[in-house]
């Protein structure tokens, strides 16, 4: 007998994939919705659907006790109300049956001067993208205050995981690792918040287990691995079997390419997140997860980098 049913909206995304695995391992029945089943997970029932279709969302959500909204638009398609419209469709599809909606948050909601960010820290976005995220969370809060469903926001830093593609970790830092070079995104003595996705997925599952004890609208901050860029470089060097040169990311080049590439242009606008250490802190979540919850940082990096080294050696 399962603990209940979880629907993952956006099963092919990084959060969706790892949340699905975690809920399945925790004893839930899992449904995954996406346009295609690009990364099948044994035990997860795939349901094809379009995130823009209210009927498709309603059908996928109907059997669920918990819904993980892992949908995300392309990075340059958030504006003109499109991100809010996507979330509004999910909110409409949730109905008023008292289900639980879990929403992955990020640190865009805060100012660069916020060094120690708790769930009680006032949100003060300094970019249009951050303002969008604030509005989305306000939409969820309003729906939960109206009694439609419970919302649990789990905020985390930048992602990394084995076989992950399309994140800063692989596309910026490791893009030249096969050439014997890795890149750091800011000064080596500055710290940054990272979320190892297998751990973040398990945190979603723990909060799902605890949902009956939580309020109608809750926000939690996932500490993850808060390390300096220098420590990150050293961990990658240790996990890689050959010497690696450490060099900075060529931000000026990225900025120039961004003049003709919309995605890269939007990415460069968020550089302040790397130049300003912003630590996610939440003793309440730490207590719920328990001691020794996180995969040790060197082990997590080795689990990501190790398979890359083996694949290169076999090539």
In this structure, the strands spanning 225-228 and 191-196 are antiparallel
Identify the three-state secondary structure at position 274: helix
Do residue 302 and residue 219 come from a single domain? Answer: no
pLDDT of residue 309: 83
Our count of domains for the chain comes to: 2
Cα dihedral 306, 155, 224, 8 sign = negative
Residue 315, pLDDT above cutoff 80: no
| Interacting residues of 262 by C-beta distance below 8 A, sequence separation 6+ | 76
Do residue 9 and residue 125 come from a single domain? Answer: yes
Do residue 174 and residue 237 come from a single domain? Answer: yes
Q: What percent of the chain has pLDDT over 70?
A: 100
pLDDT digits over 56-71, tens only? 999 999 999 999 999 9
Beta bridge partners of 195: 159
Do residue 102 and residue 176 come from a single domain? Answer: no
Rounded to 5 degrees, what are φ and ψ at 165? Answer: -130, 150
Angle at the Cα of 30 (from 24 to 32), degrees rounded to 5? 120
pLDDT of residue 137: 98
Domain membership of residue 289 (yes or no) is no
What the block records as the tokens of 185 is 């995104």
Lowest mean pLDDT among 106-110, 119-123, 137-141, 165-169: 165-169
Give 146: exposed, middle or buried? Use CB within 10 Å, 0-12, 13-18, 19+.
exposed
Do residue 130 and residue 239 come from a single domain? Answer: no
pLDDT of residue 312: 79
- What is this structure's pTM? 0.96
- Structural domain boundaries, residue 137: 5-158+196-223
Domain membership of residue 284 (yes or no) is no
Do residue 208 and residue 67 come from a single domain? Answer: yes
Do residue 75 and residue 151 come from a single domain? Answer: yes
């Amino acid at each position: 007998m399962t603990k209940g049913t979880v629907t993952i909206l956006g099963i092919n995304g990084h959060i969706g994939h790892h949340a699905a695995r975690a809920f399945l391992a925790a004893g839930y029945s899992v449904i995954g919705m996406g346009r295609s089943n690009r990364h099948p997970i044994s035990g997860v029932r795939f349901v094809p659907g379009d995130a823009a279709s209210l009927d498709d969302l309603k059908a996928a959500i109907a059997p669920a006790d918990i819904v993980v909204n892992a949908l995300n638009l392309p990075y340059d398609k958030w504006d003109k109300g499109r991100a809010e419209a996507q979330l509004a469709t999910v909110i409409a599809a949730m109905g008023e049956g008292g289900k639980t909606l879990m929403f992955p948050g990020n640190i865009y909601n805060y100012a660069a001067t916020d060094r120690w960010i708790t769930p009680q820290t006032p949100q003060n976005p300094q970019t249009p993208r951050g303002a969008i995220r604030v509005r989305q969370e306000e939409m969820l809060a309003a729906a939960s205050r109206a009694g439609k469903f419970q919302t649990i926001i789990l905020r985390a830093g930048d992602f990394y995981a084995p076989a992950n593609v399309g994140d800063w970790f692989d596309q910026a830092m490791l893009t030249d690792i096969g050439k014997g070079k890795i890149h750091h995104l800011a000064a080596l003595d500055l710290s940054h918040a990272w979320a190892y996705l297998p751990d973040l997925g398990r945190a979603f599952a723990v909060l799902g287990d605890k949902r009956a004890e939580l309020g109608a609208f809750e926000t939690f901050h996932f500490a993850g691995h808060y390390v300096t860029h220098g420590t990150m470089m050293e961990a990658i060097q240790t996990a890689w079997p050959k010497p690696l040169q450490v060099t900075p990311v060529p931000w000026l080049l990225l900025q120039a390419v961004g003049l003709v590439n919309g995605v890269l242009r939007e990415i460069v606008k968020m550089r302040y997140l790397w130049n300003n250490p912003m630590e996610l802190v939440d003793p309440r979540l730490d207590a719920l997860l328990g001691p020794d919850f996180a995969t040790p940082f060197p082990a997590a990096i080795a689990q990501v980098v190790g398979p890359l080294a083996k694949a290169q050696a076999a090539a």
